[in-house]
Copies of this chain bind each other. A is one copy, B any other.
């Protein structure tokens, strides 16, 4: 996913959030979007992405729609209602995580 291990555990958060912002997306599109908005710093590998999408779907957070685009196939994913709720929770967790990491690496943050 990237040179740093920090991204471990953040893939689902990223996927849920992109789908909140973009209504529906297919797998390859997600990899390109992430590469684009991080200026190439973050590359999501297929071996991580597809299993993650399948898991989120199995948990009821995503719905799939298969589209035949020309002669190729695309699987469009979108958030279910449950998925929208989950996304809100994940964003809260992300902000708490970032806050705690900032505090730890720079104790002055805790004085705010």
> Which residues does A use to contact B, with CB under 8 Å?
2-10, 12-14, 17-18, 21, 34, 37-38, 41-42, 91, 93-94, 96-98, 100-105, 107, 110
Given contacts A4-B96, A4-B97, A6-B97, could you give 10 more A-B pairs where the C-beta distance is less than 8 Å?
A4-B94, A5-B12, A6-B93, A6-B94, A8-B8, A13-B105, A14-B101, A18-B104, A37-B103, A98-B98
CA distance A93 to B8 in the complex (A): 13
Query: How many copies of this chain does one complex carry?
Result: 2
* Residues of B close to A9: CB separation below 8 A: 4-9
CA distance A21 to B103 in the complex (A): 12
Checking B13, B17, B18, B110 against A6 with a beta-carbon cut-off of 8 angstroms, the contacting residue is B13
